[in-house]
Structure 1
Amino acid sequence: MMIELKPLPLPASADASKFTQFGREVFGVDPANLTNEQFGEIREALYKARTHHDVLVFRNAALTPKQQYALTKAFDPASEKGGHKEHTKKSLLGPYIPIPSVPQVQLTGNGTVYNHEGIEEAKLKHRSHKTFHKTIVSPEDEAAGATRFYRWDIDAALYEISPVRVTTLYGLRVPAGPRKVCRYDDGTGDELPVPLAATAFVSGKTMFALLPMQLKSLAVRARVKYAPHPWVWMTPAHTKSTGLGMESEGLEVAYSELPAWREEKRNILPMVWKTPTTGELSFQVHGCGAAEIFIDPLPADTEPKEALYPDGTHLMDLEEVRELLYKMQRPAIAPPFVYPHDWHENDLILFNNGGVMQSVVGELGPDQIRIFHQCNLAGSDAPAGQSAEDVRKWE
């Protein structure tokens, strides 16, 4: 049986015209036992096809942690390190719970889990907006079904090592429950119906495409510098009610109080990442860890017209950096552009970390057991950015 790709089932809230290439369900192949030819087809679907897809969903998958690690590593064979370095009590990411036989695969979820893959007992906690947002949904509204995005992420340490290329997320046990309404609570009135404990995705390509010309010109000339040890740095601070970017309250850990760090190990990444096989540009910035922005000047023979920062600049004011990024990213998380995945047990999601952002959604009680295996590996090299031709195209 040949591999078959079918469009993802979209919610009624989605603008289908923005999801024509976004993702596919994959049939006719066992992701735990791919032949070289089959893996080539999967890689082609994710990266190389003219209409490549950033999210691939396999239903009724059955794979061991060893098989999941092998699948993840196949997309970047030179990679050896885990995608995050700071799973500690002092980090927003919290302690890392590795599968003992394959420590590159992480146990995540909710509730107390016993005798799982060599782990005698693990107390898991679904990430909730109530632990990281400046404001929270009231208990009354939560009881009535209101919730929020937790935090819009790119899988990346953002310090010392390169961002992940591909993440695999495998749902072994998925709690059932009523749908919720994800509120943005930012004055827009935006709301999104979501399945219980969904994982929401948005496209970096759509995020770039939605920008007005002025901001496209800025994006293709910009690089983002992240804070040292950003996941420790941001831990005392709060994110916005949309889960996108941070409030500027001065609560971050002072650089002088962070674990020892070196300036040359701070990540400086393009604001837009290029898919080398297709040339498409994705807006890929983790607004929570961003600290500075470098903007190159327009080419010397270019008419500035209404371009922003035509002579280039280095933005170092944290509030200014955050306000600019939020202005650029917020349109793309509006309800019509969000795919909230409705998890079923044994779903395996494989996503291109250079083409999407994602956030967990919702709250779970201690008795709602959720068991997931996640695997991502630090990229063996940095993501490719824009070219001189891209700058010319969008100048």
Structure 2
Amino acid sequence: MAIKSRITVHKITPPKGSDIDFGAELRGADLDNITELDFDIIRRALYENQVLIFKNQQNLSPKAQYELTRLFDPAVTSYGHGATLDAKKSILHPDLKTIPHQPQVQVIGNGPIADYEGLENITLKHPHHKTFHKHPIDPASDRDHTRFYRWHIDAALYGLHPPLVTTLLAVQVPQTSPQTLHYDDGTGDELQVSRGSTAFVSSYRTYDLLSAEDQLFARTTKVQYAPHPYIWMSRAKSRSDGLGLISEGLETPHAELPRIEEGKIQVLPMCWRNPVTGRLALQVHPSAPEKLILADGTVVEDLEAVRGMVHRVQRPGIAPHLVLALEWEEGDLAVFNNHGVLHTVTGSFEQGEVRVFRQCNLAGSEGPLGP
């Protein structure tokens, strides 16, 4: 008699007015005891749906979260951002705390925490767009209105391959009112989101939306990322839609960065291929590119031009009807395809609103599949 898995896959029902074609909830999984058959189902579901939700995972240990993450790329063990987290000038430094007994897992959230997984008397800080955007929302409107903070992929983009997946567990979620999210880019686009929702868009859908000419451009162009990108961009400011930076000459000069090793500079294809479906994703971290290398070998070095070209092809993919904004409940575990979606935090919290999440991603054992 054939052994069957108890795991079932249920597509996420898009909210009214939405046209998302990704996301699924997986039921019946025992994530502390994953069989080979279970993982085959989970892996296929991930690459077919890009974002998976497992409910009621409050008791999942950091070790089990790490082991689940590692199943997608068993050859790796190190945190996906490497030493980037420890660089004081990095824009990532204030947002993450490392679990001492499981250093591949980070704690993120908001508010004071007396004791959690070996961390004592820490204060978590939810990223707020006012620290990163050139033109933030009026503080008087901050309680009811928000922005996409920074669309990104989870990757060091220097010296380490991008992680295949990220796992994100909602440990403690404050119950608060929703917010109106504004793009503030002249389009009038806006979106209703739960406070602190994590927004996702499918980079496969973004590629499919392009004209044939732009698809050819995307398939044949390579992106050269800045060395030590999160220090390089630390003084620059974002567009109001959170999709890339404004060019004002505020990037940290190479001479002021930590020592640059030329072999660690990342040059990646603009399109990454799904290992299960074969679909192409337009997968670029919109804030980190420094140069573009075109099909004929031409190198676009003008930073404003580079950013304009990337924004032009990515912006259609973050239209409101294409955004999956997760409304978190305590115990939700999200597993997402870091090679096929962009994501961003949203929202703001007030003093006394405590939020605790655990995040894990592991540097890839090899680079992404190109077109």
TM-score range for the pair, normalised by the shorter chain length: over 0.9
Tell me the alpha carbon deviations over residues 199-233 of structure 1, each in whole angstroms, 9 at most, x when there is no partner.
00000101101111211110010110000000000
Aligned residue in 1 for 2:193: 194
Q: Please point out which of 356, 359, 364 is paired with 1:374.
A: 359
Q: Please point out which of 68, 74, 78 is paired with 2:75.
A: 78
* Alignment partner of 1:231 is 2:245: no
* Alignment partner of 1:67 is 2:71: no
Aligned residue in 2 for 1:10: 14
Retained in 2: the 8 A contact 1:274–1:383?
A: yes
Secondary structure, aligned partner of 2:156:
coil
* Alignment partner of 1:23 is 2:52: no
* Runs of 4+ with deviation above 6 angstroms: none
Aligned residue in 2 for 1:341: 326
Secondary structure, aligned partner of 2:37:
helix
Aligned residue in 2 for 1:362: 347
Aligned residue in 1 for 2:52: 56
Aligned residue in 2 for 1:212: 211
Which ranges of structure 2 fall in alignment gaps of 5 or more residues? none
Tell me the alpha carbon deviations over residues 108-161 of structure 1, each in whole angstroms, 9 at most, x when there is no partner.
100001111111111100011011000110022224x11101000101101000
* Alignment partner of 1:120 is 2:120: yes
Secondary structure, aligned partner of 2:215:
helix
What is the CA–CA distance in structure 1 between the aligned matches of 2:120 and 2:278, rounded to whole Å?
47
What is the CA–CA distance in structure 1 between the aligned matches of 2:164 and 2:40, rounded to whole Å?
16
Task: Compute the TM-score of the two structures, normalised by the length of structure 1.
Answer: 0.90
What is the CA–CA distance in structure 2 between the aligned matches of 1:218 and 1:71, rounded to whole Å?
36
Task: Give the CA deviation at 1:13.
Answer: 3.7
Aligned residue in 1 for 2:310: 325
Task: Compute the TM-score of the two structures, normalised by the length of structure 2.
Answer: 0.96
Task: Give the CA deviation at 1:167.
Answer: 0.4
Aligned residues, how many? 363
Secondary structure, aligned partner of 1:285:
coil
Aligned residue in 2 for 1:36: 36
Task: Give the CA deviation at 1:385.
Answer: 0.5
What is the CA–CA distance in structure 2 between the aligned matches of 1:225 and 1:68, rounded to whole Å?
32
Retained in 2: the 8 A contact 1:112–1:366?
A: no
Task: Give the CA deviation at 1:279.
Answer: 1.5
Retained in 2: the 8 A contact 1:13–1:335?
A: no
Aligned-pair identity (%): 46
Secondary structure, aligned partner of 1:153:
coil
What letter corresponds to residue 62 of structure 2 in structure 1? P
Task: Give the CA deviation at 1:366.
Answer: 2.5
- Pairs within 5 Å for 1:208-357: 208-297=207-296, 313-357=298-342
What letter corresponds to residue 121 of structure 1 in structure 2? N
Retained in 2: the 8 A contact 1:31–1:58?
A: no
Retained in 1: the 8 A contact 2:107–2:359?
A: yes
Tell me the alpha carbon deviations over residues 291-320 of structure 1, each in whole angstroms, 9 at most, x when there is no partner.
0011113xxxxxxxxxxxxxx521111000
What is the CA–CA distance in structure 2 between the aligned matches of 1:318 and 1:265, rounded to whole Å?
20
What is the CA–CA distance in structure 2 between the aligned matches of 1:12 and 1:341, rounded to whole Å?
14
What is the CA–CA distance in structure 2 between the aligned matches of 1:287 and 1:3, rounded to whole Å?
35
What is the CA–CA distance in structure 2 between the aligned matches of 1:74 and 1:65, rounded to whole Å?
14
Range that drifts further, 25-34 or 333-342: 25-34
What letter corresponds to residue 60 of structure 1 in structure 2? N
Secondary structure, aligned partner of 1:326:
helix
Range that drifts further, 112-121 or 342-351: 112-121
Aligned residue in 1 for 2:135: 135
What letter corresponds to residue 186 of structure 1 in structure 2? D
Tell me the alpha carbon deviations over residues 8-38 of structure 1, each in whole angstroms, 9 at most, x when there is no partner.
13222411xx41xx11101111223212221
What letter corresponds to residue 180 of structure 2 in structure 1? V
